């Protein structure tokens, strides 16, 4: 029964292609997030930024963590509360742990971030999750705080889900071999962050078959 439920969920989350009247394959239009959704309540399913807003987010991220113009977004994760996370890649790579999208639709710096020379580790296998990196949500004008995780997802992985210790299941944003997800949480401590919380990260294929999984022990700082 669990396999059937998971396969049904995967089918619902994947972008479905349809055939036109003359047999050609048509990609249905992608529904872009509204500003009300981006600034509204957090959701377990990610939102899709429109290209113009996505470009502004990338520009602000480059400026905030001082990356060169050649750095490009690997994955952005937005799911309400005015927060968006950005993982950047290129000759220099990095992360904006949290940027803020306020009610006027602008983009502002908020949380921390990091940069480093690009990781030259071997590419992940098609059925693997790898390079799992933590992050925190908060700072700036954000009224929410929480945790995030990002990393590589092999080409055979169609859906990545993060299950938090309290049972919350978060569907990650998946873009071109990268995934990212964030969720609200109270993070105690002002000087030193507590350990990354207990989570299970699962990557499944288009039929719902589990290909790889990871735990908090495999989530490491940059």
How far is 110 from 113, CA to CA, in rounded Å? 10
Taking only the tens place, the pLDDT of each residue in 51-101 is 999 999 999 999 999 999 889 999 999 999 999 999 999 988 999 999 999
How far is 160 from 93, CA to CA, in rounded Å? 22
Could you give the angle at the alpha carbon of 93 between the alpha carbons of 205 and 127, nearest 5°? 15
Is 122 exposed, middle or buried (CB count within 10 Å of its CB: 0-12, 13-18, 19+)? exposed
Q: In the prediction, which pLDDT does 221 show?
A: 82
Going by C-beta distance under 8 Å and a sequence separation of 6 or more, which residues neighbour residue 32? 48, 49, 50
Phi, psi torsion values for 12, nearest 5 degrees: -70, -30
How far is 173 from 71, CA to CA, in rounded Å? 20
In a domain, 188, yes or no: yes
What's the rounded mean pLDDT across residues 121-145?
A: 89
- Residues 140/98, Cβ–Cβ less than 8 Å: yes
In a domain, 86, yes or no: yes
What's the rounded mean pLDDT across residues 185-201?
A: 85
Reply yes or no on whether the pLDDT at 134 is more than 70.
yes
In a domain, 94, yes or no: yes
Cα 196 to Cα 160, 173, 213: the distances in Å are 19, 20, 17
Q: In the prediction, which pLDDT does 188 show?
A: 79
In a domain, 14, yes or no: no
Going by C-beta distance under 8 Å and a sequence separation of 6 or more, which residues neighbour residue 7? 207, 208
In a domain, 1, yes or no: no
Taking residue 111's Cβ as centre, other Cβ atoms within 10 Å add up to: 22
Taking only the tens place, the pLDDT of each residue in 8-65 is 445 445 443 333 333 343 455 678 999 999 999 999 999 999 999 999 999 999 999 9
Residue whose entry in the numeric block shows the structure tokens 């925190």: 136
What pTM, to 2 d.p., does this model score? 0.86
Q: Are strands 169-171 and 18-19 parallel, antiparallel or unpaired?
A: unpaired
In a domain, 97, yes or no: yes
Is 134 exposed, middle or buried (CB count within 10 Å of its CB: 0-12, 13-18, 19+)? buried
Regarding predicted confidence, which is higher, 23 or 137? 137
Q: In terms of Cα–Cα distance, which of 28, 53, 33, 51 is closest to 43?
A: 33
Give how many domains the chain has, as a whole number. Answer: 1
In a domain, 16, yes or no: no
In a domain, 10, yes or no: no
Rg (CA), the chain: 17
| Residue range(s) defining the domain that contains residue 157 | 32-218
């Amino acid at each position: 029964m669990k396999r059937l439920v998971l396969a049904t969920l995967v089918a619902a989350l994947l972008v479905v292609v349809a055939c036109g009247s003359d047999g050609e394959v048509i990609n249905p239009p992608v529904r872009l997030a509204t500003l009300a959704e981006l600034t509204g309540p957090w959701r377990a399913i990610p939102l899709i930024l429109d290209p113009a807003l996505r470009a502004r987010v990338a520009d602000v991220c480059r400026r905030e963590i001082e990356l060169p113009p050649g750095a490009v977004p690997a994955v952005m994760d937005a799911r309400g509360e005015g927060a968006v996370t950005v993982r950047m890649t290129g000759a220099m790579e990095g992360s904006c742990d949290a940027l803020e999208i306020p009610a006027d639709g602008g983009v502002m710096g908020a949380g921390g971030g990091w940069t480093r020379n690009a990781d030259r580790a071997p590419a992940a296998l098609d059925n693997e999750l790898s390079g799992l990196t933590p992050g925190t949500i908060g700072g700036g004008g954000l009224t929410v705080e929480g945790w995030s995780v990002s990393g590589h997802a092999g080409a055979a992985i169609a859906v990545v889900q993060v299950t938090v210790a309290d049972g919350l299941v978060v569907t990650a944003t998946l873009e071109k071999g990268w995934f990212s997800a964030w969720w609200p949480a109270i993070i105690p401590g002002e000087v030193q962050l507590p350990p990354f919380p207990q989570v299970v990260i699962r990557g499944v294929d288009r039929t719902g078959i589990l290909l790889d999984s990871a735990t908090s022990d495999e989530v490491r700082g940059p």
